[in-house]
Amino acid sequence: MYFLIQSTLTQVPREKLAGSNAPYIAVLTRSQWLIERGSFDMGIDIDPFAHEIHSTKAEVNYDSLTGSFSIPDRVDLETNDIRFAFALDEKGIVFIDDSGYAEKTVNQIGSTKRWRLPSLERFLYDFLEQIVADDRELLERYDRELDEMEDSVNLDKDEDVTDRLGEIRSHIRDLRIHYEHLLDFTQELEENENNFFYQGNLRYFRLFFNRVERLRSATVAISDHVNQIRDIYKAHLDVRQNRIMTILTVVTTIFMPLTLIVGWYGMNFRYMPELDTPWGYPVVIAVSLLILIGSLYFFKKKKWL
């Protein structure tokens, strides 16, 4: 697929790219790139494999700028990232992508965007914006879920939140790393080392940089929130365990003297005068009750119960 950046993206045949003064966009598969790369005259020999792409980055060459995108799947952050490469110069940009993501995004921009001052810089801004378009809502959903989990923990509901907290922490870490790569990528574009971009249009990259920086700050805040809930949950578990230990200690303390009485009168001595008196059994019962009531009163007074 080939496009010219005019007031909108205009799809054109390959042969019309060379005869136009407007910057172009090409979306090719890897096999197409291997066939056509010589015709783009970018002075590079890039042969990207998806498994060799590990991050979003840009590298400045003598007469081109090349790099890659590694984009987490927002629907399922556990899956592999969406990966594709690109190469650009002052005339346009080529996406080398077998995943279909670049084609889908370019088509979406073509159907929704109309520019008063079309330029390669403005297209790049809109393309990068599409990558993080729904991330604010995604982070807000994580925030709301964490608020609900915190309320559940504070209400002392019997709900184990550690597994879900671990998942959220992992997802947020992946997003934060992605945003940091995007920040480095945008800075590389803004430096404009090869003067591919108009100085007046570098503001687009600064706008995108500021937006991604806010998203990165949000992930840091969410990570802190996760750690806070983990600490609260651990504190509640400690309190619950302390209550159980207190109850066990109280029960053990109450029954220790009763156990002593049982052991005492379980001895096989012949001469135990209280065994022959008719009041022996009631006295033992009364003493046991006094020990029980006295222990409970003592623990209540000490606020151990």
What are 194-227's pLDDT values in tens digits? 888 888 899 999 999 999 999 999 999 999 999 8
Point out the domain boundary residue: 110, 131, 152: 131
pTM equals 0.77
What pLDDT is recorded for position 47?
A: 61
Q: What is the mean pLDDT of residues 228-246?
A: 80
Same domain, 122 and 244: no
**Residue 122 binned pLDDT confidence (cut-offs 50, 70, 90):** very high
Q: Is residue 75 part of a domain?
A: yes
- Please indicate, yes or no, if residue 106 is contained in any of the structural domains: yes
- Given 100, 131, 162, the domain boundary residue is 131
Residue 280 pLDDT class (50, 70, 90 cuts) = confident
> For the sheet containing 65-71, what is the strand order?
9-11, 2-5, 24-28, 92-96, 82-89, 65-71, 57-60
2, containing H or E segment: strand 2-5
| Residues 91, 300: Cα–Cα separation, whole Å | 84
Q: Which long-range contacts (CB under 8 A, 24 or more apart) does 66-72 make?
A: 67/185, 67/188, 69/131, 70/178, 70/181, 71/101, 71/131, 71/178, 72/174, 72/175, 72/178
Residue 42 lies in a domain: yes
Residue with tokens 């840091």: 220
> At a CB cut-off of 8 Å and minimum separation 6, what does 139 contact?
175, 215, 218, 219, 222
Nearest to 203 by CA among 214, 218, 192: 192
Amino acid at 43: G
pLDDT at 172: 92
- Provide the terminal-to-terminal Cα distance of the chain, rounded to the nearest Å: 76
Tell me how far apart the alpha carbons of residues 197 and 213 are, in angstroms, rounded to a whole number: 22
Q: pLDDT at residue 259 above 90?
A: no
For the chain, give the percent of residues with pLDDT over 70: 94
Query: Taking 80 as the threshold, does the pLDDT of residue 238 lie above it?
Result: no
> pLDDT value at position 137?
93
Is the per-residue pLDDT at 50 higher than 60? no
pLDDT surpassing 80 at residue 171: yes
Other C-beta atoms within 10 Å of 246: how many?
Answer: 13
Stronger pLDDT, 260 or 158, i.e. the higher one? 260
Domain that residue 285 falls in: 240-301
Quickly count: other Cβ atoms within 10 Å of residue 73's Cβ.
Answer: 12
Give the pLDDT confidence score for residue 213 in this predicted structure: 95
More confident of the two residues 297 and 133: 133
Mean pLDDT, residues 80-104 taken together: 88
Mean of pLDDT over the chain? 84
User: What CATH number is associated with residue 281?
Assistant: 1.20.58.340
In a domain, 193, yes or no: no
